[in-house]
Amino acid sequence: MTNIETSIDKTVKFNFSEGYSSVLIPLNDKKTLCLSSQIGCPMKCGFCISGKRTFERNLTLDELKEQLTEAIKYLKLIDIKSKENKNEKNYLAENITSIVFMGMGEPLLNLKTVLEFCDYVNEFYGYSYSKILISTSGIISKMEEVINNPNKIQLAISLHSTNQQVRDKMMPASNCHKISELIKTCNYYNEKYRQKIMIEYLMIKGLNDSDEDLQGILDLNLAKRTNFNLIPLNGSFELEGKIYESSTKETMSHFRNELMKAGYKCFTRTSMGADIEAACGMIK
């Protein structure tokens, strides 16, 4: 049984009875499908509601497929054909611009199944691997596995701070990964891929949005055209007894302008589906 909620901004959330959700996000006339990979998340990032829930298990391949099937049914894509039928248009790619593993869970902790799913959508729907993106909190050995995979699946990494102490507090389960090692892995991706890695940076007022923080990002010396995705914090987040909120629009624009001036691609993510708890970091 799937329960469907629709946001005032037309974002759609599919809630599956086993306890996970997927989200269909409208982008003009195209859509992004955001999938969950686990029930709960063992990474327990402090700012994320999914991480507050007890980790139960990895999702199975059938459960990943079910998230796609529900979106296909919702969009009424009755004409989808497998790639054996070369004369038919690829209706899936025309209607779902990208499939991203950014929902509940750390996809790299369920990598074998996630990769099997990528093979399935490629083989069955002719959906290009390069339109699939796996977003990780930064598990280096698994990132390397994705980079070394012959099918060029995109990677995004949640950086959120270039200050090791601050990052370790925000993402306690990631504290075994040093920022310098993560950046080496990003550089490895950038050398192997035509399109550069996506760096996600959650912007939190007074925690990671100062000019010093901006300089810290510039000092990483990532390859030009690396993609930065600046994300406003949804709601608030408590760290060591202090309540933090999102950076202001002005600060976010300042970061964006400076990163673009330095030769990077940068966009600020609009918070979609907040009223139905479908926005980034809000999936329970």
- Residue ranges in contact with ligand SF4 by CB under 6 A: 41, 43-45, 48, 50-51, 104-106, 137, 281
Contact 262, 254 (CB under 8 A): no
Could you tell me the smallest distance in angstroms from the CB atom of residue 37 to ligand SF4?
Answer: 9
What are the angstrom distances between the C-alpha of 156 and each of 77, 108, 134, 171? 28, 11, 6, 16
DSSP characters over 196-229? PPEEEEEEBTTTT-SHHHHHHHHTT-PPTTPEEE
Q: List alpha helices for the chain, DSSP H.
A: 49-52, 61-75, 91-95, 111-125, 140-148, 164-170, 179-192, 211-218, 249-261
| Nearer Cβ to ligand SF4 (168/258) | 168
Q: Report how far residue 247's alpha carbon sits from residue 234's, in angstroms, rounded to the nearest whole number.
A: 10
Could you tell me the smallest distance in angstroms from the CB atom of residue 26 to ligand SF4?
Answer: 22
Contact 106, 37 (CB under 8 A): yes
Contacts (Cβ under 8 Å, ≥6 apart) of 83: 90, 123, 124, 125, 126
Could you tell me the smallest distance in angstroms from the CB atom of residue 240 to ligand SF4?
Answer: 18
| Nearer Cβ to ligand SF4 (127/200) | 200
Could you tell me the smallest distance in angstroms from the CB atom of residue 279 to ligand SF4?
Answer: 12
Contacts (Cβ under 8 Å, ≥6 apart) of 193: 147, 152, 154
| Nearer Cβ to ligand SF4 (127/237) | 237
Could you tell me the smallest distance in angstroms from the CB atom of residue 90 to ligand SF4?
Answer: 30
| Nearer Cβ to ligand SF4 (42/263) | 42
Could you tell me the smallest distance in angstroms from the CB atom of residue 205 to ligand SF4?
Answer: 19
- Classified as helix, coil or strand, 248 is coil
User: Which residue is nearest to ligand SF4, using beta carbons?
Assistant: 51
| Nearer Cβ to ligand SF4 (105/126) | 105
